[in-house]
Amino acid sequence: MSGKRISATLVVNEDRAIACAACGHTLGPAGAPWKDHARLDEQPMQGAGGNPYTNAERVLLRRFFCPGCGALLDTESALADDPFLTDIVRV
C-alpha cells in the first residue's frame, strides 16, 4: 500500500488519511488519534501468550485491528480504566 509510513503498520495516504499499510482501509485523518477507528479486542493478559502469562487478572491485552483486513495494528498492556496510548506522527 502506497503512502507515507507513520508506524510499522500504518501509512498516511494521498488523501491525508491514516490507512492500514496492508489493505489501505482508512482510520481517520492524518495527525489525529486513529485507535478509535480500529476494531478492539480486550482480553486478560493472563494466558494470552501461553501458560507463563501469569499476569494479574486485572491486566488487559488490548489488540487493535484493521476493520478492513483484520491486521493487528498495535497492542497495549493496560488496566481497564487507563486510556489508549496515543501516537501522533506529523508527515
Partner 1 sequence: MDPITFSIIRHRLFRVIDEAVITLKHVSGSAITNEGHDLMVSLYRADGSLLMGGVGFLHHLTSAAEACKAVIRRFEGDIGEGDVFLTNCPYTAALHTSDIYLVAPIHHEGRLVAWSACFVHVYDIGAMVPGGFSPDSRDIFTEGFSSPGIKLVEGGEMRRDVMDTLLNMVRAPEMVALDLSSMIAANNVARERMGALIEKYGADAVDEACGALVDQSETLLRKRLRELPDGRWEARQYFDIEGETCRVLLAMTKEGDELTFDFTGSSPQSHYGINCTYWASWGGFFAPLFPLLCYDITWNDGVLRPIRMIAPEGSVVNCTRPAPVSLATVGTIQSVNNAACTCIAKMLSASEKYAEEATAVWHGSHFAIFMFGLNQRRQEAIGILTETFGGAGGARTWADGIDVGGEIPNPIGRMANVETTEATFPVRYLFRRARPDTGGPGRWRGGNALEFALVQHDSPEGGINYVVSGKGTEFSMSEGLGGGYAGAPCAYRWVHNNRASEAGRNVNPFPTSLDEMTGEAETISWGVFPLKGEDALYVRSDGGGGFGDPLEREPARVQADVEAGMVSAEVAAAVYGVVMANGTVDEGATAARRETLRAARLAAPVAAAAE
Which residue's CB is nearer to partner 1, number 24 or number 71?
71
C-alpha cell at 55: 499476569
- As given in the structure block, the three cell numbers for residue 91 are 508527515
In angstroms, give the least distance from the CB of 87 to partner 1.
5
22, with CB counted inside 10 A (0-12, 13-18, 19+), is: middle
Q: Is the CB of 19 or the CB of 45 nearer to partner 1?
A: 45
Which residues have a Cβ under 8 Å from the Cβ of 49 and sit 6 or more positions away?
A: none
Nearest distance, CB of residue 17 and partner 1, angstroms: 16
User: Given the rule CB under 8 A, which residues bind partner 1?
Assistant: 5-9, 35-42, 45, 48-56, 58-59, 61, 63-65, 67, 69-79, 82, 84-91
